A and B are shown apart, each in its own frame.
Chain A
Amino acid sequence: MQRPELVCPAGTPAAMRTAVEAGADAVYCGFQNATNARNFPGLNFTPDELERSIAHAHEHGTKVLLAINTFPPAGKVDLWREAIDLGARLGVDAYIVADIGVADYIARNHPDIRLHLSVQAAASSPEAINWYCREFGVKRVVLPRILTVSEIKQIASEIPCEIETFIFGNHGLMVEGRCSLTNYITGQSTNYDGVCSPAADVEYRRDDDGNLSTRLGDFTIDCFSCNETAGYPTICKGRYLTPARNEGYYAFEEPISLNLSSLLPDLMAAGVNALKIEGRQRSRAYVRNVVSSFRKAVDAIMAGQEPPLADLIALTEGQKQTEGAFKSKTWR
């Protein structure tokens, strides 16, 4: 069994240092603009911050992967090209991309830098992945979170590149890179602008009884009673009233996090080369706890020991966790 790379999130320079010190083999991050899918206020890196952060990561033997994983709208492609060229000058170890134009630009202009295919590209079949490898020299694919471990194993046997799978964080079951729910309500696009449920459009209202309503724009997404745990204010995890049901209904998915702690040995045996932790928008405390927990688990498995399964439930969305489609297509 080969040792998988532990790929960890970094939304700020402090979070990146935390991830490096907690045992990340690689960290992924983005610039403070629409070129990445976590274009949140106050998050991400300036060029100077990224330059210093890369130097620190490399001193510790940690790779830095730059997420350029949104889709440039017509007429705005220069922003993406500038981010790519800047990343090359700063010494990133790989780009994570979703758009074929972006992939083509990197393949032609920076052929010596590794190209990873983002989950935002939603490539889930060997045929699709092979096409990206053939056309752009993609070295790694980040698989959508809709495949079972046995399906991943099958794909691994049919593609020439490495496989990266999510192991913790957002459950992410939408066809990624295609979701337009935020766009429908706010006019901002997850795919073009890198914003899912922009904070400027989110409002929390708490009534005198302690019930909490979450609103995005003019729409109420959920209402949590005082004893209920809450989730992110995303439309896909909203609970809605419909005439056909007596109470609120999760129309798409529930507030719940992916946690594949117990499936790690199976994933590694299936040929997964890199294990990804989601959460660039989360705190240093989250990064420290989750990264160090999975560092210990992976090291234990590589040493032939039973992996310690840390209790990460307090960090999960809605304080609920699932192995999702990785374990069974009928998880819900």
Chain B
Amino acid sequence: MEPVTPTQPDMQTGDIRAPRLLPPLPLFLLQPILRRIVTRIAAQNPDMFNRLGPHRSANFIIDVKGLPFALHLRPDPDDLLFRAVPRHRKPVADAEIRGGFLDLLGLVDGESDGDALFFSRDLVITGNTEAVVCLRNALDDVDGSIAAEVADMFGPPGRAMLSAMRRASARRKN
């Protein structure tokens, strides 16, 4: 299992930068957390999957710039998958979405516009464009914020961390 390093976003670029002094974190420690997150989000937003149409079984790679691993998402309510994968051994996927941490956070927080990020070249899409468009529309039809739902899972520390990241994102935009 490939080790990863605890991270924090760069306020200028929105990318993740990894502190060098902290010990690496094995990927397997992340997997139950990611599984819990995707299960909870799916349970709270069951209608979201309708917008995926035939692409609910598609495999997406979400590549957060600067992270030492990538994320693999299959938004199939009957076979949900959200896991960390080694960057150099990414599985074959239908589509890949690449962007900075704060930009991707803005999308799941309902605060950023995916088209605008594409225009500015901060978001890169490859593979099955229709699958990505469906995923974008499914995520955007969630009332409130998926990021806030995730933060709530971790109680006051989670909410505090999200608030800090929102402030960082706002500073970056200004």
Contacts and interface: CB of A to CB of B under 8 A. Distances in A.
B124 A212 contact: yes
Nearest to A316: B119
B130 to A, nearest CB: 4
Contacts of B138: 42
Interface in A1-44: 11-15, 17, 40-43
Contact of B134 (A42, A202, A319): A42
Given A14-B140, A42-B51, A286 B134 contact: no
B119 A231 contact: yes
Contacts of A318: 119
Greatest chain B CB density within 10 A among A11, A41, A200, A230 is at: A41
Given A42-B136, A229-B121, A285-B110, A14 B115 contact: no
Contacts of A43: 51, 137
A41 B121 contact: no
B133 A199 contact: yes
Interface string B106-136: 1100111111101111001110011011111
A90 B121 CA distance: 41
B140 A284 contact: yes
Interface stretch (A68-76, A93-101, A109-117, A203-211): A203-211
Greatest chain B CB density within 10 A among A13, A284, A318 is at: A284
Interface in A90-137: none
Contacts, number: 98
A41 B52 CA distance: 8
B120 A204 contact: no
Interface string A312-330: 0011111100000000000
Contact of A14 (B112, B119, B141): B141
Interface size class of A (residues with CB under 8 A): 35 or more
A249 interface: no
A14 B139 CA distance: 10
A256 B51 CA distance: 29
B53 interface: yes
Contacts of B116: 286, 314-315
B129 A202 contact: yes
A41 B113 contact: no
Given A12-B137, A212-B121, A230-B121, A315 B53 contact: no
Greatest chain A CB density within 10 A among B112, B114, B116, B130 is at: B116
Interface string A227-246: 01111100000000000000
A226 B135 CA distance: 26
Nearest to A205: B126
B144 to A, nearest CB: 9
B134 A41 contact: yes
A186 interface: no
Interface string A59-88: 000000000000000000000000000000
A316 B116 CA distance: 7
Given A41-B130, A204-B126, A283 B143 contact: no
Interface string A210-231: 0010000000000010101111
Given A42-B51, A282-B115, A286-B116, A13 B133 contact: no
Contact of A11 (B55, B134, B137, B142): B137
B115 A200 contact: no
Contacts of A228: 121
B88 to A, nearest CB: 16
Interface in B78-112: 106-107, 110-112
B166 to A, nearest CB: 13
Given A40-B137, A200-B129, 19 more contacts: A12-B51, A14-B142, A15-B141, A41-B55, A42-B135, A198-B130, A199-B129, A199-B132, A202-B130, A204-B129, A205-B126, A212-B121, A230-B118, A230-B119, A231-B119, A282-B113, A283-B115, A283-B136, A315-B116
The 9 closest A-B pairs by CB, nearest first: A42-B137, A42-B134, A12-B141, A199-B130, A42-B51, A286-B113, A202-B129, A200-B130, A199-B133
Interface of B: 50-53, 55, 106-107, 110-116, 118-121, 124-126, 129-130, 132-138, 140-143, 173
14 contacts: A41-B133, A42-B53, A199-B133, A206-B124, A206-B126, A230-B118, A281-B115, A283-B107, A283-B112, A283-B114, A284-B110, A285-B111, A314-B116, A314-B120
Interface of A: 11-15, 17, 40-43, 46, 198-200, 202-206, 212, 224, 226, 228-232, 255, 281-286, 289, 314-319
